[in-house]
Amino acid sequence: MKVLVSDNILSKGVEILRKAGLDVDVKTGLKPEELKSIIGEYHAIIIRSATKVTEDIINAAKNLKVVGRAGSGLDNVDRAAATKMGIVVMNTPGGNTITTAEHTIAMMFAIARKLSQANTSMGQGKWEKKKFMGVELFNKTLGVIGLGNIGGEVAKRAQGLGMNVIAYDPFLSDEKAKSLGIDKVGLSALFSQADFITIHAPLTAETKYLINSETIKTMKNGVYIINCARGGIINEKDLLDALESGKVAGVALDVFEKEPPESNPLVGHEKVVCTPHLGASTQEAQENVAIAVAEQIVEYLVHGTIRNAVNFPSIPADQVAVLRPYISLAEKLGSFTTQIFEGGITEVALEYRGEASGLNITPLTIAAIKGLLNPILLETVNFVNAPFIAKERGIEVKETKSSDSGDYQSLITIKVRSSKKEISVAGSLFSKKDPRIVKIDNFTVEIVPEGCMLFMYNNDRPGVIGNIGTLLGTNNINIARMHFGREKAGGRAISVVNIDTCATPQILDEIRRLPNILDVKEINL
């Protein structure tokens, strides 16, 4: 078996691969065409953030079995294309958790006490003691956006500094937040109450430009903002305007929308501390991820064991063919459900009926949980750690089986509950391989769960469908499929529209203003 290491990892990882009898080539700095020309001879590729494993590369990788990321972020891997080709994509979650959390705290200290600016001044031979008046962290309120692995570690350290920690995380139950000594708040409350705001969320359609001119207006005057997560969560132009006006007192950025940032006015700004994506850059973290990814590649290529895969659970090789379509269905059900549900999840109940009840349901449940958590955690949740993360967040998971599946050969139902409400979504396989969502609460539907979709509650009135189609057409958005369901004639209904191009927030607002539209959400599967 041949392994290509296309980005720099510590030599300990390469040694583990070679000791296992694998043929390893270390070729870093390859251009896309160079990688494409050689990838066909390799069974595994190990990357970090530099190599882009695109659909074009994957299509040329005729023998590739696994992509291993030394780190957690997978923005540079086309996971959908890899999954389609049967290629396992795995990362090393947790290897850089402490390192990134510590970097966040260091950045927070730096902007609170103007350390970088003072150091630069001293280097110029100046002694400007009065110019660099700082603020204490003690007794200040830290708002944490995203209380996953890294956000949780930041919160612990901030509590140790005597800070009051509040957090926004749609997947964190009130009970779990209370047990951590953290006040769970809405996003608007976090913006208005926090003295310091730190971001620990993935870049998704929901978090794109989460911090912008409008949300900044709701923040305290003199707020400090830290981003060691992903560029693009902050609108950099709006942030610059807020710095210039004095609304934002200081900013610490380890990530940028474009990296490296070229001619970015935030870099070098007197109120900004910047680092070149150093969150995971410690000797310990790099050693952890190098060893972890090498061991995972060995386990898979040599022993057939899948660990920390983001697109496949850990199951025996002889069960893969049978379980694969059910795993896909369960994950899509989970992801769809969480994107139409609002509130902190406290319980997930999974019901397997018909043929599905006779399967090994453990990987199916894991896939459903992963689907539930993935839209918000994205890079840190996988088929291995999904149950642990659910438990850590106070989510109780229940399973039941029944041989009776009613009108379907197999039926998987996922019921999600919070302290105030619940929702039920059921799915089945058509032709034993094609996933379909067939029921949402009391609505009978037949939804193809893929791509961008608009999910709408509406009144069952004439003209609703025409209005939606006209609005989308006006905005040059093509409709791929439309699905409808209603409780009764003239009552409440749901409409689900598969679209070729995802809608902008402005288009979603236009849809909400249409007659008889009660609510609309964009779902991305």
Catalytic residue among 277, 307, 324, 481: 277
Burial of 159: CB neighbours in 10 Å, binned 0-12, 13-18, 19+: middle
Report d(CA 504, CA 518) in Å as an integer: 18
Say how many CA atoms lie within 13 Å of 110 toward its Cβ. Answer: 22
Catalytic residue among 43, 103, 200, 230: 230
Catalytic residue among 55, 259, 270, 396: 259
Q: How far is CA 257 from CA 145, 232, 244, in A?
A: 18, 5, 20
Report d(CA 496, CA 215) in Å as an integer: 30
Tokens of 284: 């310990």
- Catalytic residue status for 259: yes
394, 436, 442: which is closest to 418 by C-alpha?
Answer: 394
Tokens of 462: 């004439």
44, 47, 117: which is closest to 77 by C-alpha?
Answer: 47
- Catalytic residue status for 230: yes
Report d(CA 293, CA 308) in Å as an integer: 9
Report d(CA 312, CA 223) in Å as an integer: 42
Task: Give 490's contacts (C-beta < 8 A, 6+ positions apart).
Answer: 459, 460, 461
**Other CB atoms closer than 10 Å to residue 358's CB: what's the count?**
11
Query: Which DSSP string do the residues of 185-216 spell out, in sequence order?
Result: --HHHHHHH-SEEEE-----TTTTT-B-HHHH
Residues linked to residue 93 through DSSP beta bridges, in sequence order:
none
Q: How far is CA 509 from CA 26, 238, 470, 494, 522, in A?
A: 50, 21, 15, 18, 11
Would you name the residues annotated as active-site residues?
A: 230, 259, 277
